[in-house]
Amino acid sequence: MSSPSDDSSSPPLSPAAEAVIKTGDSCFPDDWNAYFELIYLDKYGPNADIKAWILKNPDIEMLPYLGNVNACNMQLSMTSKILLESEGMLVCLAIEQLNYNDFEAKWAALEVTERRRIALDGLVRGACSAREKSRADCPEMSLSGLVGDGQYSLVNLLKAIVMHDPAATFRIRSLYLFHHPAVEQEFDLFTNESAADNFRAVGHLRLLHRNRFIVEALIGILEAYAGKPAPKISLREEMESERMPSCFACGTESTEKFPVTLKRCSGCKTAWYCSKVCQDRDWKEHKKFCGGRSTKFDPALITPTSNDLAPAEFIGCPAPDPGFVRGPALWRQIWYLPKKDSYDRDYHMSVPASTSRIYIALTKFESHSSLTPRQAARAPSALVIPSDAAVSLMFYIARRRAMASGDLGAVCKMHSILQDLQRTGTVNLTADQIRDQLEREYRVVLVPAVPFGSPPTMQELNEEMDYALRRRKLAYKQAEADEKWNAGAMADVVSEWDKGDESDAGERERCG
């Protein structure tokens, strides 16, 4: 993440993080949790004095932003977009568990010790995805509260964000901010309209970081409950990554395992981008701040909508038929396919829980640039149908019908094609894993199989061939763009922009 100043010194670490360094990158989750539980007692307990606590424990990482509202606005813009995407993922996962897996009853039936183990696992995962220090601003993240049945229990927190936008599409219309009276009292000191702009900007940034920790922790708890292995990211690696910049459009970071070329805007020398796609998409937002032109805090400038995120549907994605409601698992499939490193891929299969949760590419395109390391750890295997034109075309048509209506015959045809690939070793999954995923995505039973249905129409054949050609062209174009982008590692962005709004031409050249 870029710094608001040229000071390259690293921010001070929390006692929990310092303990990690002293013990050689080993951390005991119970001790780590106890540190924050003591903070909650001291900060939000019955005898707490929040104002006194704030004066005694200033958030030193935020102090530089008090003198640079423009830099803070840019961080707000980036953080809000990352949070919006994470909230979309959380809503989808929550609906999947609450509505389809009887999660509330199953969670209540677990022993308290097991609920604590799962919740603590999720909290640690959240600390590896969001800003660890922000947990101190999240009294809802008390372990006892999460595993209990009070207002801020795990189930009630999940229900709260689902009520904000109850559509399991991996997209939500607007940001949701979790509410807690003690937090609202605390942040009123910084965010009320009478406060100075720099205090309001910093206060809002802390609020976003607080909500991101909650969201990432809740995602982590649901993944731990589902038995998904935690990303292999140590706290030491996480602390080191905080010193590195990340893409202002999608949050991608460059790591040793997932190296990404990040380039800096030559107009403001602050914003970094992982690709020209992200740079172009972010221009509408970034031009408000580029070159230090933003000196006032305005919440309207930093409130993203789903339109600010990457496309949510792939080329050729059919509209759902009237009456057909796509479930969260199917929306997850649709969400992955338009990623820029999935343009030439035809389906995504979930990585089994027993394997390493890394992004597996089965094609010659190996770019990871559209996923952050944490997203990559959550991503499934990508699958491309072999070059047999007839097989590919039949799979596309079956996928089209299945995604539009949940047609059982179409899902059975997809299953048959994938089974054939599994038998020849093209798909490194078991037959049960393939069947289970398709049944979960389309909410059907594939045994016994049913016939495909009516033969493909000429319209279906022509449209799917055209869609496939457009996707392949886009994949090659993306590969060329990535190669060109990577030619100047960690360099300033060159002044090459696609033709766009002519009124922005001069400004775009400055930012380029």
Lowest-confidence segment of 59-73, 326-340, 349-363 by average pLDDT: 349-363
pLDDT attached to residue 19: 45
Is 6 contained in some domain?
A: no
Is 491 contained in some domain?
A: no
Is 43 contained in some domain?
A: yes
pLDDT attached to residue 488: 59
Task: Label residue 500 by pLDDT band (50, 70, 90).
Answer: very low
Count of domains observed in the chain: 2
Burial (CB count within 10 angstroms: exposed 0-12, middle 13-18, buried 19+), residue 318: middle
- Return the higher-pLDDT residue of 477 and 511: 477
Of 242, 268, 293, the residue at which a domain comes to its end is 242
Report the percent of the chain where pLDDT is more than 70.
Answer: 77
Task: Label residue 212 by pLDDT band (50, 70, 90).
Answer: very high
* Average pLDDT of the chain to the nearest whole number: 80
103-107 average pLDDT score: 97
Query: What is the per-residue burial (b if ≥16 Cβ within 10 Å, else e) of 460-479?
Result: beebbeebbeebeebbeebb
d(CA 62, CA 64): 6
Residues 131 and 231 grouped into a single domain: yes
d(CA 253, CA 231): 15
> Which stretch of DSSP H or E encloses residue 241?
helix 235-241
pLDDT attached to residue 390: 86
Is 323 contained in some domain?
A: no
pLDDT single digits (tens) 156-171: 999 999 999 888 778 8
**Could you tell me the residue range of the domain that residue 438 belongs to?**
328-456
Task: Label residue 446 by pLDDT band (50, 70, 90).
Answer: very high
Q: Is 307 helix (H, G, I), strand (E, B) or coil?
A: helix
pLDDT attached to residue 310: 62
Lowest-confidence segment of 331-345, 375-389, 422-436 by average pLDDT: 375-389
- CB-side exposure of 173: number of CA atoms within 13 Å? 6
38-52 average pLDDT score: 92
pLDDT single digits (tens) 430-439: 899 899 999 9
pLDDT attached to residue 454: 95
Position 38 pLDDT exceeds 60: yes
Query: Does the pTM of the predicted model rise above 0.85?
Result: no
Task: Label residue 382 by pLDDT band (50, 70, 90).
Answer: low
3-state secondary structure 340-367: CCCCCCCEEECCCCCCCCCCCCCCCCCC
Task: Label residue 371 by pLDDT band (50, 70, 90).
Answer: very low
Q: Which of 289, 62, 94, 294 is nearest to 176 (CA)?
A: 94
pLDDT attached to residue 246: 81
Q: Is 246 helix (H, G, I), strand (E, B) or coil?
A: strand
Taking the alpha carbons at both ends of the chain, their separation in whole angstroms is 19
pLDDT attached to residue 318: 94
Residues 46 and 160 grouped into a single domain: yes
Residues 355 and 235 grouped into a single domain: no
79-95 average pLDDT score: 91
Position 90 pLDDT exceeds 50: yes
The bridge status of strand 272-273 relative to strand 263-264 is: antiparallel
Task: Label residue 308 by pLDDT band (50, 70, 90).
Answer: low
Is 284 contained in some domain?
A: no
pLDDT single digits (tens) 255-295: 666 677 888 888 888 888 888 888 888 888 888 788 777 78
Position 33 pLDDT exceeds 90: yes
Residues 233 and 98 grouped into a single domain: yes
Q: Are 393 and 461 in contact (CB under 8 A)?
A: yes
Is 179 contained in some domain?
A: yes
Is 170 contained in some domain?
A: yes
pLDDT attached to residue 424: 84
pLDDT attached to residue 4: 35
Of 192, 227, 242, the residue at which a domain comes to its end is 242
Position 232 pLDDT exceeds 60: yes
Position 235 pLDDT exceeds 70: no
Position 182 pLDDT exceeds 80: yes
Task: Label residue 201 by pLDDT band (50, 70, 90).
Answer: very high
Q: How far is CA 397 from the centre of its chain?
A: 30
Of 428, 456, 484, the residue at which a domain comes to its end is 456
Position 113 pLDDT exceeds 70: yes
Which residues lie below 8 Å from residue 408, measured CB to CB, with a gap of 6+?
442, 444, 450
Residues 92 and 218 grouped into a single domain: yes
Position 361 pLDDT exceeds 80: no
pLDDT attached to residue 381: 54
d(CA 98, CA 408): 25
Q: What is the residue type of 435? A: R
Is 481 contained in some domain?
A: no
Residues 179 and 36 grouped into a single domain: yes
Q: Which of 311, 258, 264, 303 is nearest to 285 (CA)?
A: 303
pLDDT attached to residue 5: 36
